[in-house]
Amino acid sequence: MKINGLYPGGFGKLKDREIRFDDGINIIYGQNEAGKSTLRNFLTAMLFGWEKGRAKADPYKKYRPWDAAGIYGGAMDLTYEGREYRVERDFTEGGRSLRVYLQPAMREIPAEGGLMEAIGSRVTRAGFENTAMVPQGSAAPGDELSELYGNYIANLALSKDREVDVPAALAELSEQRKALEKKKLPEKAAELRRKIGELETLMAELDRTAAAAERLRAEKATIEGKLTELSEDRSLAEEQQLAEYLREYDVYCEELERRDRLAEEIVQTERKQTELLDGIPDVEELEQTEKRVDSLLRELVQAKTEWKSEREKFAQQETELRGRKRRKALLWIPGLVLFAAAAGLLIASLVKKTEKLASLRPYALSALVIGGGLAVAGWCARAIVRGKLRRLAPRRKLLSAERSERQAEIEAALAELPTEEELHTARDRAVADTARAEECERRCAELRERMTDVDAGIAAMRDRTLAHFSTLEPAEGLSDTVVSQIRGHVLARSVQCRNRRSALATEKEELTGAIARMAQQIEDGEARTAELYDARQKLSECEAELAEDERKIRALALAEETIRRISTEIHDSFGRELRDAISEFSSKTTAGAYAKVSADEGLAMRTSGGSKAVETTQLSTGTAEQTFLALRLAVLSKMYGGEHLPLVFDDSFVYYDTVRLRSTLQMLSELGTQILLFTCRDTERELLGELGIPHRVISL
């Protein structure tokens, strides 16, 4: 057996985990409270169930998921004898919900008796927990192992069947012997003889019933002949034909209605086509209107463009005149200043009459003349430019009024015409209506073709239906009146036939009842015959059973004595094999310190590793743990050697020194079975690395 994977969906602190294992040694590493013991208990629960108890320290309650609303259970993959299984359990129902699937087809197999029975294994929970499952700091097996061991060696001698409970078997043998002694078989045999006499009396009546049954069978054959003749009556065939022809006539009427619907649809389609054609606008008129609108729009755009160009031209002229006006101002203002200065100098020379001022008088006069001329010339030039500016404004207003009036005329003309969007919409509607009208025309043509086919079908159907009805009654035409008349005649004949059939059916029913009663009498007689045969058989069996019970009582007493004797004898020989196996494993777990270990019938061990033989319980804790492990492995190899159970260790080596732990790990690696080693230390991993033993580390 090999555990391939554990998938706790909800178990203690473990939730939605996936843990895969390999062959050989698997180290499940984690610190305290990482969930190692929880995972080990989940493994046991998946193998043997997890039932709810009543104690306060019930593990079922302890490992209920911390999230009370979550699931309580999970899944496991295992391999046993070359077959792979998928195991699913739900512990919320007291641990009894178990489903086992054979992989890879995922075919569910019955598992009412538990997982081990489903896969064909003989391992029990007690056997597994006391051999392959080594708990933390306590390798000593429980009392269940000694009981299992006692049963095993006794069964090995008697039947080679390891599943027989010897004490229970002895108790069962004793109970069987007592039960056989209490049986009342002689009274049962006398009762059977009395019953046989009564049944033989009834057999004579059975013979008379058989003769009456033969007469009934002859009458039954006669009645069946009449029924056969009745079923061939012509009126029945006419009635069936009438029903069939009426169905044909209904189809014919439906085709007429279909033709009327087609004609109405043609009329409606033609009316719709006419309405569409009447509502389609004149495309040429639309095109002329579009051209007129386009022309006016271009004319409006051109007028706006020309007016914009003329406005820009007026603005440019106004800008040039204003520039000239500013430039002319530069002429009369300096002349005016020069005139004023020269006038002031001249007045000063006339008033003061000094020689210096008198010498400047000619210059003052010249400057006065020049300044006055410049001022007059500049003023005149500015006046001319100002006049041009005044004349420019009326011209611009006049032209603006003309342009505005033209644009208003164009816009008024456009307002009277449809917009481009309206024209496009009208054109699209015209195109769409034209297409719909053409579709209506095509639809009309299609409907006319279908109507032609329907007319042809109606004509053929009318002729065929009329010919069919003519086979029942002569008919020249096909109408509701003719069909009703034919139906009345056929139904009248059918009523006559029905009355005759009813009378025959009544007679048939009476004869059938008589046949059934006689058949029941025959069946009862046959049952009595079987009952008589059965009673004779039981009497014979009862007499044989009386002799067999006497033989069994003697055999059961002998079997009890034999089991007790052989059980004692086999322990002596098998005990030597177990002692050798324990000694071999003990030598490896203690690094050769204790190579001779023995166990009695109760699996109490003694060792002779020192100067004298001592009880294992008197050894140090570490040595005791090592010898207990040797006992577990020895019993496992003898009781479940063919199972190849995985060995599970839950921090089981805490009391081992380095030398003995190294020797133990070397021994475990040589067993060739799967090892699941739960630990919170690095010692095992380091020693496996030093020894070069392949292993896999799984961190929780």
What DSSP string describes 527-568? HHHHHHHHHHHHHHHHHHHHHHHHHHHHHHHHHHHHHHHHHH
Residue 575: which pLDDT band, with cuts at 50, 70 and 90?
low
Same domain, 366 and 350: yes
589 phi and psi angles, rounded to 5 deg: -75, -25
The answer, yes or no, to whether residue 644 has pLDDT greater than 50, is: yes
Beta carbons within 10 angstroms of residue 691's beta carbon: 13
Whole-number Cα distances in Å, 23 to 1, 26, 646, 694:
11, 8, 9, 10
- Please give the pLDDT value at position 626: 83
The answer, yes or no, to whether residue 278 has pLDDT greater than 80, is: no
Which of 146, 142, 128 has its CA nearest to residue 645? Answer: 128
Q: Stretch 309-333: mean pLDDT, rounded?
A: 70
Same domain, 353 and 289: yes
Residue 158: which pLDDT band, with cuts at 50, 70 and 90?
very low
Judged on CB neighbours under 10 Å (0-12, 13-18, 19+), 535 is: buried
Which of 145, 124, 159, 143 has its CA nearest to residue 570? Answer: 159
Distance of CA 390 to the CA centre of its chain: 94
Same domain, 293 and 379: yes
615: left (phi over 0), alpha (psi -120 to 50) or beta: beta
Preceding amide of 186 cis, omega within 30: no
Same domain, 443 and 463: yes
- Number of domains into which the chain is organized: 2
How far apart are alpha carbons 669 and 666 in whole angstroms?
5
The answer, yes or no, to whether residue 122 has pLDDT greater than 80, is: yes
> What percent of the chain shows pLDDT beyond 70?
68
> What b/e string do you get for 22-38 counting C-beta neighbours within 10 Å, with b at 16 or more?
eebbbbbbbeeebbbbb
How far apart are alpha carbons 254 and 457 in whole angstroms?
12
437 phi and psi angles, rounded to 5 deg: -65, -40
Same domain, 454 and 356: no
End-to-end CA distance of the chain: 24
- Please give the pLDDT value at position 74: 92
How far apart are alpha carbons 643 and 630 in whole angstroms?
18
pTM of the model: 0.45
The answer, yes or no, to whether residue 561 has pLDDT greater than 70, is: no
Which range of residues forms the domain containing residue 376? 283-417
Residue 99: which H helix or E strand, with range? strand 97-102
Q: Which pair of structure tokens corresponds to residue 272?
A: 């719709």
Per-residue pLDDT tens digits for 233-273: 566 676 677 778 778 778 878 888 888 888 888 888 888 87
The answer, yes or no, to whether residue 164 has pLDDT greater than 50, is: no
Higher per-residue pLDDT: 189 or 624: 624
User: In this structure, is residue 102 part of a structural domain?
Assistant: no
Higher per-residue pLDDT: 1 or 189: 1
Amino acid identity of residue 555, one-letter, is: A
User: In this structure, is residue 322 part of a structural domain?
Assistant: yes
Same domain, 305 and 372: yes
User: In this structure, is residue 659 part of a structural domain?
Assistant: no
User: In this structure, is residue 632 part of a structural domain?
Assistant: no
Residue 160: which pLDDT band, with cuts at 50, 70 and 90?
very low
User: In this structure, is residue 304 part of a structural domain?
Assistant: yes
Per-residue pLDDT tens digits for 20-63: 999 999 999 998 888 888 999 999 999 988 877 655 557 778 88
How far apart are alpha carbons 665 and 657 in whole angstroms?
12
Which of 132, 148, 134, 147 has its CA nearest to residue 644? Answer: 132
Per-residue pLDDT tens digits for 341-390: 777 777 777 777 677 777 777 777 787 777 777 777 777 777 777 777 77
Q: Which pair of structure tokens corresponds to residue 358?
A: 């008198």
Higher per-residue pLDDT: 548 or 595: 595
- Indicate the residue among 417, 445, 478 that finishes a domain: 417
How far apart are alpha carbons 321 and 40 in whole angstroms?
111
How far apart are alpha carbons 694 and 700 in whole angstroms?
20
Same domain, 321 and 405: yes
Which of 310, 331, 333, 496 has its CA nearest to residue 400? Answer: 310
300: left (phi over 0), alpha (psi -120 to 50) or beta: alpha
Same domain, 318 and 351: yes
Which of 571, 620, 576 has its CA nearest to residue 594? Answer: 620
How far apart are alpha carbons 647 and 131 in whole angstroms?
8
Residue 677: which pLDDT band, with cuts at 50, 70 and 90?
very high
- Please give the pLDDT value at position 665: 92
Task: Write down the residue that tokens 């391999």 correspond to.
Answer: 79
Same domain, 301 and 273: no
Bridge partners of 160? none
- Please give the pLDDT value at position 559: 62
Q: Stretch 483-501: mean pLDDT, rounded?
A: 69
Q: Which pair of structure tokens corresponds to residue 605?
A: 């061990």
Please report the sign of the dihedral spanned by the C-alpha atoms of residue 158, residue 161, residue 162, residue 167.
negative
Same domain, 244 and 355: no
Same domain, 359 and 241: no
The beta strand positions in 454-612, using DSSP E, are: 597-599, 605-607
- Please give the pLDDT value at position 88: 93
The answer, yes or no, to whether residue 130 has pLDDT greater than 60, is: yes
Q: Stretch 597-618: mean pLDDT, rounded?
A: 68
Q: Stretch 94-122: mean pLDDT, rounded?
A: 86
The answer, yes or no, to whether residue 689 has pLDDT greater than 70, is: yes
User: In this structure, is residue 188 part of a structural domain?
Assistant: no
Query: 603: helix, coil or strand?
Result: coil
User: In this structure, is residue 219 part of a structural domain?
Assistant: no
Per-residue pLDDT tens digits for 184-213: 556 666 666 676 666 666 666 666 666 766
Higher per-residue pLDDT: 250 or 536: 250
- Please give the pLDDT value at position 54: 56
List CB contacts of 175: < 8 A, sequence separation 6 or more. Answer: none
Bridge partners of 86? 77, 101
Length of the chain: 700
The answer, yes or no, to whether residue 161 has pLDDT greater than 70, is: no
Higher per-residue pLDDT: 177 or 427: 427
DSSP one-letter string for 22-51: -SSEEEEE--TTSSHHHHHHHHHHHHH---
Residue 678: which pLDDT band, with cuts at 50, 70 and 90?
very high
- Please give the pLDDT value at position 56: 57
Which of 371, 327, 365 has its CA nearest to residue 346? Answer: 365
Same domain, 320 and 302: yes
Q: Up-side HSE of residue 509: CA atoms within 13 Å toward CB?
A: 6
Residue 593: which pLDDT band, with cuts at 50, 70 and 90?
confident
How far apart are alpha carbons 679 and 595 in whole angstroms?
28
- Please give the pLDDT value at position 668: 92
Per-residue pLDDT tens digits for 59-106: 778 888 876 567 888 999 999 998 999 999 988 865 568 999 999 888
User: In this structure, is residue 11 part of a structural domain?
Assistant: no
Q: What is the mean pLDDT of the chain?
A: 76
